Amino acid sequence: MNLLLLRDEDFVGADRVLLRGRRLQHLLQVHQATVGDSLKVGQLGGMMGRGELLALSAEHAELSVQLDQPPPAKLPLTLLLAMPRPKMFRRILQHCATLGVAEIILLNSFRVEKSFWQTPFLQPEQIEENLLLGLEQARDTILPQVQIEKRFKPFVEDRLPALIADRLALVAHPGDYPACPRAVTQPTALAIGPEGGWIPYEVDKLVEAGFQSVQLGARILRVETAVTALIGRLF
């Protein structure tokens, strides 16, 4: 953890926090922190800065904090992602939070196994936990927004066109399409299919909604690899 993330309820004064639980354990065991240490801290949803460790015991850590720096800018990216396999989903949430994705929309697709929607990793507190791990890694305080859309057709037909109205909208799909662009600065939506890819009907619907098909070469990437490689290329 490269940033100690503070929640509103940790504050016991304007510049004073008390920590227990996972973050306390991490301070004790991984950081092997001692009183007087200065640590990078950030307020979830707010500013970042430094905290000085005033007291440390097995029960709690007390810090005085000074929050005077904004978090890094988010990427202007909405990721439209066919719901991935649960174990990979967890890692993708972490990668996305670390890389600065602003918004993730989890979408159904013909090739998404129904069981994927049953995973406990979709519980709001589990989504948040994995996003927090990504923010702590990157040193960021702003959670990506996550939206769940289990019905492909009504979402893509009725709501997606408005959502991408002022965006570059790209669907990654193997085939004879233009190469995925690079060094994009405008607001972007990127649709990434499931293992095995979108079916042709789904690509057609996304194109009708305003997406352009782009390809990333002959190699077939796992979803996890594709998400990170495409973000690395796009921004």
Only one of the segments 7-15, 122-130, 133-141, 156-164 lies at the binding site for a second copy (rule: CB under 8 A); that segment is: 133-141
Residue type, 137: Q
**Residue from 16, 31, 139, 167 binding a second copy (CB under 8 A):** 139
What sign has the CA pseudo-torsion 24, 30, 31, 34?
positive
**Total residues binding a second copy (CB under 8 A):** 26
Shortest Cβ distance from residue 137 to a second copy (Å)?
A: 6
70 binds a second copy (CB under 8 A): no
Q: Which residues is 41 bridged to in the sheet?
A: 4, 49
98 binds a second copy (CB under 8 A): yes
Please enumerate in sequence order all residues whose Cβ is within 8 A of that of 27, keeping only pairs 6 or more positions apart, or say none.
4, 19, 33, 39, 53, 56, 61
218 binds a second copy (CB under 8 A): yes
C-alpha to C-alpha distance for 187 and 170, rounded to whole angstroms: 11
23 binds a second copy (CB under 8 A): no
**Residue from 72, 175, 178, 200 binding a second copy (CB under 8 A):** 72
Beta carbons within 10 angstroms of residue 96's beta carbon = 25
H or E segment and range at residue 16: strand 16-19
Shortest Cβ distance from residue 222 to a second copy (Å)?
A: 6
Q: Which residues bind a second copy (CB under 8 A)?
A: 2, 72, 94-95, 98-100, 137-140, 182-183, 217-222, 225, 228-233
